[in-house]
A and B are shown apart, each in its own frame.
Chain A
Amino acid sequence: MRLRARIGDGAILLTAAATLGFLLYPAVVVFSGSMQTNETLFARNRFDLTWDNYRHIFDAGFGTYLSNSLAICLAATLAATVVSVMAAYVFSRRRFRWRRVLLTAVVAGQWFPWIVLVTPLFILFARTGLTNSYSGMILCYTAISIPFSVYLLLGYLETVPRELDEAAMVDGCTPLGALWHVVLPVMLPGVVATATYAFLLCWTEYLLALAFLTQPAMKTLPLGLYQFFGEDTTDWGAVMAGSAVTTLPALLLFLPLQRWLVSGLTAGSVKQ
C-alpha cells in the first residue's frame, strides 16, 4: 500500500512538472530572449545578456505606443466601469418594464463579433474625424468593455445582501447614496476585478486599433509589437522585448486579483 502511494505520488509529481514546463516555458523564452541579440537567439550554445533590444524598441517609438495605450485604456476602463456599475446596479436591484429585454441585449453584446463593427465605424469615424484620435478609441473600447463588465458586476452584486441598501434608503440615503456609501464599499474587490478585465481587454485589443489608428504617432502597443514582424525577416529580439513590455503590466495586475477574477466569471450567469 505504501509503495502504491509512492508510485502515485511519483506519477503526480511528473505530471505536475510537465504541466509547469508547458505553462512557463514560453514566458521564460520571452524574457530570456528579450535580453539576447538576434545572433545568439539563432545560435545554439551562446548566451550574451544585453539590454539592446529594449533600447532598440524604445528608439523605434515603443514609448509613444506605451503612453498611447495607457491613456486610451485607462480612460476607457474608467468610463466603462462607471457606466457599467450604474447599469448593473439598477438591473440587479430594480424591477422595471423592459428589464429582461434590456439586460439580455446588454449582456448579448458579448456574443457580438467585433469584426462586424469595423466597416460601419470606419466610415462613421472618417466622416466625424475620429480616426486617429484618442476619443474615438476610448469610445470604442468603452463600448466593447460594457457587456462583459455588466455581466461580471451582476454576479458580484448578487453577493451583496439587498437588505443592506434597503436599510440605507430607509435611513434617508438617496438611491445613489446607497450605492455609493453602502453597496460599493462592500463589492469593491468585484469592481476592481471588473475594471482589471476591462483594462486587459483594451490593453490587448488589436483589430479595432488596426482599423482606426493609421498614423504611427497614434498607434498602441499591440500594433507596435506586430510592426517587428516583417514580410521576409522578423526582428525576433525586438518582438521578445516588445512582448515583455506588453505582458508585464498584465501580469502585475493579475497576481493580486486572481481569486476575484475566477469567482466572478461564473457567478453572474447562474441567476438572472
Chain B
Amino acid sequence: MMAPARRRTARADQVFVTLMLAPSLLILAAFYLYPMASNVWFSLTDLSLMKLRQGGAYIGLANYADALGGADFWRVVWNTAFWLTAVSVVVRLVLGMALALLLNSAALLRLRLRTLMRLALLVPWATPPIVAVAVWRWLLHPQAGGINRALLWLGLTRHPIAFLADTATVWPAIVLIMVWNTVPVATLTLLAALQSVPRELSEAAALDGAGSVRIFRHVTLPHIMPTIMILAMLMTFWTFNNFVYVWLATGAGPGRYTDVLATEVYLRGFVDFNLGSSAAIGVIMAVAMGTFGLLYVRVLGRRVAS
C-alpha cells in the first residue's frame, strides 16, 4: 500500500528539485556556457570586429600559436600571476592578519578603540573599486596629490613622482590601491576566525610556558588555517580575473607595461579589433582559473575532511 504513494512523492520531489534549479541553471547556461562555447569557436577563427557580419574563417590553432609564441604574452602572464595576483594576495593576507591581531588584542579593547577600528574598516570595504581607483589617482597625482605633498614636505623626494606613469612605481601603486580597497575583507574574516579559537587552548599553552609567538604558530595558526585557505582562494579569483583596477588606474600603461590578461583580452578585441585572438586569450584565462579552482577545491576538501 505504501510503495506507490512513496513513489509518487519521490516523483513529485524530483519535479520540485528540477523546477527550483531550472531558473538559475538556464540563466547560467545562457550567460556562461553559451559565451564560453562561442568563445572557443571564435578563438579558432580570424573573426574581426570590423567584419562581424561576415563572421570569421576557421584558422585552426593559429591564434593560440601566435599568443603562446609572442614574448609579450609571457610578460602579460607574468604581470597577471605575479604582480596582480601573487603580490597583492600575499600583502593582503599578511596585512590583514596583522590588523586582525591588532583588533583582537586586549590592549585595543582596553583603549576602547576596537569598535572605532571595525567601523573604519567598513569605509574602504564599502568603497566601490571604481571609486577607490579614482580617489587614489587623485592622491597619487604628481602636482596636487596628498602623497607627493607629504613626500616633498618630509624631504623624501625633491621632485614629485608620477606614480602611475613611472615603470618603477606603477605596480606597487596599483597593488596599494587594491590593498586599501580589500584589506578589510581579509581583516574582518580573519578576526572572526581568531575569535573562534577556544580560549582554553591558548591558556593551556601559556600555562605550559609557551610564548605568544609560539602560541600563535602552534595553536592559533593551525586553527584558522581553513579560513586563510578559503580567503586566499577567493582573493585569487577576484584578482586574477580583475579588469577594473588596472584598466582604470593606468589603461594597461605606461605603454603596455601593466597589461594583464583581462586587459589584453579587451585590447586585442576592442582596440585591435581582432576578436579571434582576443577569444584565444580569454579561453586560456578561463582554463587557467578553472584548473586552479578544481585543484584548490580538491586540496581544500581533503584538508577540511581530515
Contact = CB atoms under 8 A, between A and B. Distances in A.
Interface of A: 8-9, 12-13, 15-16, 19-20, 22-27, 29-30, 33, 41-42, 44, 82-84, 86-87, 89-91, 94, 96, 102, 104-106, 108-121, 123-124, 126, 139-140, 142-144, 146-147, 150, 175-176, 200, 203-204, 206-207, 211, 222, 225-226, 229, 236, 239-240, 242-243, 246-247, 250-251, 253-255, 258, 262-263, 265-266, 269-272
Given A12-B107, A26-B132, A90-B21, A254 B125 contact: yes
Nearest to B241: A113
A94 B102 contact: no
B254 to A, nearest CB: 15
Q: Name which of B32, B108, B137 has the most chain A CB atoms within 10 A of its CB.
A: B32
Nearest to A16: B113
A225 B188 contact: no
B180 A26 contact: yes
Interface string B116-129: 11111111111111
Nearest to B130: A222
Interface in B33-48: 34-36, 38-39, 42
B28 A119 contact: no
B265 A90 contact: no
A225 B130 contact: yes
B126 A253 contact: yes
B125 to A, nearest CB: 7
Given A26-B139, A251-B123, A143 B27 contact: yes
A262 B293 contact: no
Interface in B124-156: 124-132, 134-139, 143-144, 146, 149
Nearest to B116: A20
Contact of B289 (A86, A111, A176): A111
Q: Name which of A115, A142, A253 has the most chain B CB atoms within 10 A of its CB.
A: A115
Given A111-B293, A254-B122, A16 B52 contact: no
Nearest to B240: A113
A147 B118 CA distance: 28
A2 to B, nearest CB: 14
Contacts of A225: 130-131, 134
A203 B17 contact: no
Interface in B68-85: none
Given A20-B120, A26-B124, A118 B266 contact: yes
Contact of B188 (A204, A207, A258): A258
- Across the A-B interface, give the 6 residue pairs with the lowest CB-CB distance, nearest first: A143-B31, A204-B128, A120-B35, A113-B241, A116-B282, A254-B126
Contacts of A240: 138
Contacts, number: 261
Interface of B: 13-14, 16-17, 20-21, 23-25, 27-28, 30-32, 34-36, 38-39, 42, 52, 99, 102, 105, 107-108, 110-111, 113, 116-132, 134-139, 143-144, 146, 149, 180, 184-185, 188-189, 191-193, 226-227, 230-231, 234, 237, 240-241, 243-244, 247-248, 261-262, 265-266, 269-270, 275, 278-279, 282-283, 285-286, 289-290, 292-293, 297, 300-301, 304
Nearest to A95: B17
A251 B30 CA distance: 33
Contacts of A119: 35, 39, 42, 269, 275, 278-279, 282
Contacts of A29: 135, 138-139, 146
Given A258-B118, A262-B189, A236 B126 contact: no
